[in-house]
Amino acid sequence: MSDKRKFLIVDDEAANCELLKRFLANRFEDEPEVGIAYNGEQAIEMIEKSPQPDCVLLDIKMPGMDGLQVLKSLKPRFPDIKFIMVTANRSVSKMMDSIMSQAFDYVPKPINFDDLEKKILSALNQNN
């Protein structure tokens, strides 16, 4: 079994996906495996058919199936995956909905990458 960390970035904005992918490659050793899904349906399909990621960076606001719907669909079936919600919507109700839906944490946009790194490390260390 590989010790390489696996991440999935889910965001309908390609530029955000690339930015997060570069961030993960630069901040985490051993070149983590990083998958990208551009919508909720694609994220669910990838998680169901592939080795599960350790951590999912999941945008809340996406066309079609939004991030909260993805979280509510996947978390009961894949309880070990840590979901960190990423969104420009700073509303308290969305944050509470994420937490009540078992997201590990919440990161507002624009992203503070030091804060995101701490939250990812905390999520990954919880699995150990």
Q: Which CATH architecture does the domain made up of 6-126 adopt?
A: 3-Layer(aba) Sandwich (3.40)
Predicted TM-score of the model (pTM): 0.91
pLDDT of 108 reads 87
Put residue 9 in one of left, alpha, beta given phi > 0 → left and psi -120 to 50 → alpha: beta
The DSSP 8-state label assigned to residue 80 in this structure reads: T
The DSSP 8-state label assigned to residue 69 in this structure reads: H
Domain spans, the chain: 6-126
**Mean pLDDT, each 10-residue run in order, the chain (128 residues):** 81 97 90 96 95 95 93 95 87 70 88 96 84
pLDDT of 7 reads 97
pLDDT of 89 reads 73
**Largest interatomic CA distance in the chain:** 40
pLDDT of 1 reads 37
